[in-house]
Amino acid sequence: MLFLKSRRQLSTVRSRGAKPAWLLHLISEELLTDEDINVFSTQLTDLKLVGKLTDAAIGNNNRGIYSVAGTFEGRRGEDLLVKAMDLRAADNWSEVRVLKILGELVASGVFRDTERRLKWKGPKGGGSVPVIVMEKKPGVLIEKTEAYRKASKKVQKEMVAQVRDLMCAEVADIAVTTGVYHDDNHKDNALVELNGTKVLSVEVIDWGGSVYVVGRASKGEIARYCIEVWNRLYN
Ligand SMILES: Nc1ncnc2c1ncn2[C@@H]1O[C@H](COP(=O)(O)OP(=O)(O)OP(=O)(O)O)[C@@H](O)[C@H]1O
Ligand SMILES: [Mg+2]
| Domain locations in the chain as residue ranges | 7-29+139-234, 34-135
- First and final CA of the chain: distance in angstroms? 28
Protein residue with its CA nearest to atom 26 in ligand 1: 61
Return the best residue to mutate from 60, 206, 211 for the ligand 1 pocket (most ligand atoms within 8 A of CB): 206
What digits encode the pLDDT tens for the residues 150-201?
999 999 999 999 999 999 999 999 999 999 999 999 999 999 999 999 999 9
59 CA from centroid of ligand 2 (Å): 7
Binding site membership of 52 for ligand 1 (Cβ less than 6 Å): no
Q: What is the pTM of this model?
A: 0.90
What digits encode the pLDDT tens for the residues 83-127?
999 887 889 999 999 999 999 999 999 998 887 777 765 555 568
* Residues 6 or more apart in contact with residue 15 via CB below 8 angstroms: 23, 229
Q: Which atom of ligand 1 is nearest to the CA of 95?
A: 25
Which residues partner with 62 through β-bridges? Answer: 85
Level-2 CATH architecture, domain 34-135: 2-Layer Sandwich (3.30)
56 CA from centroid of ligand 2 (Å): 9
- Residue 11 CA, distance from chain mean position: 15
What digits encode the pLDDT tens for the residues 115-127?
777 776 555 556 8
Average pLDDT score over residue span 50-75: 80
pLDDT at res. 158 = 98
CATH number for 7-29+139-234 (one of 1.10.10, 1.10.3470, 1.10.510, 3.40.50): it is 1.10.510
pLDDT band at 128 (very low <50, low <70, confident <90, very high): confident
Which of 11, 28, 32 is closest to 91 using CA atoms? 28
pLDDT at res. 64 = 86
Residue 58: pLDDT over 70: no
Report d(CA 167, CA 190) in Å as an integer.
Answer: 7
Give the Å distances, CA to CA, from 200 to 27, 115, 140, 206, 227: 31, 40, 12, 20, 18
Residue 202: pLDDT over 80: yes
Give the Å distances, CA to CA, from 144 to 75, 193, 230: 27, 12, 20
Binding site membership of 56 for ligand 1 (Cβ less than 6 Å): yes
